[in-house]
Structure 1
Amino acid sequence: MAGGNAIRGSRVGAGPMGEAERGDSAPRHRVSYFCAGGHETRPAFALDAQIPESWDCPRCGLPSNTDSENPPPPPKIVPYKTHLAYVKERRSDAEAAAILDEAILALRARRAAGEIIY
């Protein structure tokens, strides 16, 4: 249980932070960005700052630009490919059958020689 004379206060440096203590803020202007999802985002930039051509929409994550009539299209999502899909891109079915036959012959030769294969 806390004593009756405990000091209640705030941390060092706390207090009202007005313009007098912080200094004046830089003059700013807002720029509108439009995404393919129909959202408008208006971040504020300093007047002397370089304005980026594109901005990620905070609502849907799609890229946006300043042209409301022509927002950038959503990026194409490349599906995940398995190892087998990459192999099928490199080899035809005939090449795969030839490689499989070669591997089976090598395995049968090792078994015939008495080699223990797990």
Structure 2
Amino acid sequence: MADRSLRGTGLGSKSFEDEGGVEFAARQELGFDCPRGHHFTKTFAVEAELPTEWECPRCGAESLRSDGVRGEAKETKPVRTHWDMLLERRSIAELEELLSERLTLLRAGELRPMEIHKPQTTRRRSA
């Protein structure tokens, strides 16, 4: 019998709760201007930290606040290359010494180039 009373109400998609007596949080609207001429507003809570940039809903470009507030420029780190990381571990003198040792071993035939060091695999056929 309970099945029939709930039929057709769309359970899970509708709320029967009343908004009476509910106090909403204080809100503020913030405008954004797109570089392509679009203007839009977003609603934020009063106590929220306000962003300085927002993606334009029409074209996807980075839009700046209409009130002129700009964000602080972030400090960017220089790109660390493999050479920079190597120099953190060894000095130029150490690298030159290692190079001369390896070249001596290579010329003496005790060390072979890396492409020769690849392991040879032999395949066995099953009978």
Between 1 and 2, higher relative CO (CA 8 Å, sep ≥ 6) is seen in: 1
**What TM-score does the superposition give when structure 1 sets the normalisation length?**
0.42
**What TM-score does the superposition give when structure 2 sets the normalisation length?**
0.41
